[in-house]
Amino acid sequence: MDTMSDGADLGSEHRTATATARGTAHTLRHAVAALLAAWLVVLGAGTGAHAAPGDGLIKVFVVPDPAQTGGQPATLPSIAAATLGDPARSGEILDLNRGLAQQDGGALTGPDDPLHPGWILRLPQDASGPAVQLARDTGNQDGATLPPGTGQRTPPGTAPSTMFTIPLAAAVAVLATILLALVTAGIVGRRRVRVAYTAVLRALRGLGEPVRRRRRLTQRRTTGRRFAADSESVRRAYGVLGEFVPTRRRPERPVHAVRVDERGATVWLTAADTADAPWTHLDSTRWRRSTTAAGRPARTDDTGPAAPASITTACLVRAGADSDGAPVFVDLSRLDGVLSVSGDRTVARDVVQNLLAEVARTRPDTAVTVLRGADGGPPLTVPTGLRQLPRVAAPAPSAPAADLGTVRAGAARRPVRGVVVVAGTPDERVAAELAALCGPGGAGWTGLVHGEVSGAHWRWHTDADGRVDIPVLDVRLTVPA
């Protein structure tokens, strides 16, 4: 039923995206049609404005009544300035209108002749401005005919024309309005297209998510099998620790993590420590040595009683593989208390299960006890090779730990005597038992919790893709499954 519901949701999203895309296309079609109509109008006006005399359309200026211009009568220079941008071109207007009879019987004969309101004066073809209008050339001595409805006074006796005329300013205003409408439609359309595109991508991701999760799980299982069969990387990691054992001239430099690969090794030291050549400094805590570098050989790769104490105390476990597939070891003896692994519950459980398997390979017969958290789900499986104890009678902490929980003021190294595993976030009773075994003044055990723990010294975070973030090392690793 869940599969059918998911399919219905995806189908609904697809139909919504399709309908949105169709609505957007419909809006854009209307906008384009409106723009084409506006262009046709403007082209019609523009054609008349630049037409040859045989087309019958010319540019004209209608002389206004002085009452409409604040008492200032129109003159040829003022008309030339308003329509041609240059009063000196008034002679061109005179030449176009000299001797042509106006509708009141008068005519323009010289540059100083008064201009009568209502006269229609022809203008050069490059005239422009709000006062320029289009009129039909009558081809007779009556000059040009301006149809009524243009906002100018038409003298009595003028024969109205059926031609539709548009002032250039009005044509530009119409075009600007249409362009603004088109831009607005485009913005709205883009938003709709973006919404549709996002919906389609979400649907596609929903379809591909199970496949991607299965592929990631396969990779994690491959990493787990590779770890189980790889003892060479463990030997090399302990060999790297041998390069940092204390000497007469230099104390031990704590190695908190080790990464080994075919080309060399990387170690994480404290920020105050340094490594001798051939180690090179990568950043504040990481140092790198290549395999071919001629450095001081490892003291030993043996973890038995003959090995230095710093190596026998160490408990290197592979926390996961980095983006290059190389294993990264952490030293559980540096944990000094409790490791809290939170985030995705399934992946957090895999982290703790893998750490137990690593302890079983490097420190067999280690004692393990499993406690049940309040929200932990099923308990973990204790790997073969570890000694599971049903319950440990731990002494009460010798020092008050109410304010510090299971964490100390500073990390201190201690051997991994036993491992306490908590499946889920511990309740009050389990938290008290965890503190008695792993906390300050307790039994000195190491706690591994896949859940939230107040005051844990180490905190790792997992995600649903099978990765774990280790903030103290600033790394993200793939967790074996």
Alpha-carbon distance of 381 to 353, in angstroms, equals 7
Domain parsing of the chain, residue ranges = 232-314, 335-478
Per-residue pLDDT of the chain (481 residues; tens, 9 = 90+): 443 343 444 344 445 445 554 555 555 555 555 555 555 544 444 443 444 444 568 899 999 988 888 888 999 999 999 999 999 999 999 999 999 888 888 899 999 999 999 899 999 999 998 889 988 776 554 556 654 444 444 433 333 333 344 455 555 666 677 777 777 766 766 777 677 777 767 766 666 678 888 888 999 999 999 999 999 999 999 999 888 888 888 887 889 999 999 999 999 998 888 998 899 999 989 999 998 765 454 444 444 444 566 677 889 999 999 999 999 999 998 887 899 999 998 899 999 999 999 999 989 999 999 988 877 567 788 999 999 998 777 665 555 444 444 433 345 778 898 999 998 888 888 888 888 888 877 788 999 998 888 778 789 999 999 999 999 899 999 999 8
What local confidence, expressed as pLDDT, does residue 28 receive? Answer: 52
Q: Model-level pTM?
A: 0.55
What local confidence, expressed as pLDDT, does residue 308 receive? Answer: 63
Q: Measure Cα distances from 416 to 102, 303, 355, 363 in Å.
A: 115, 14, 13, 9
What local confidence, expressed as pLDDT, does residue 34 receive? Answer: 53
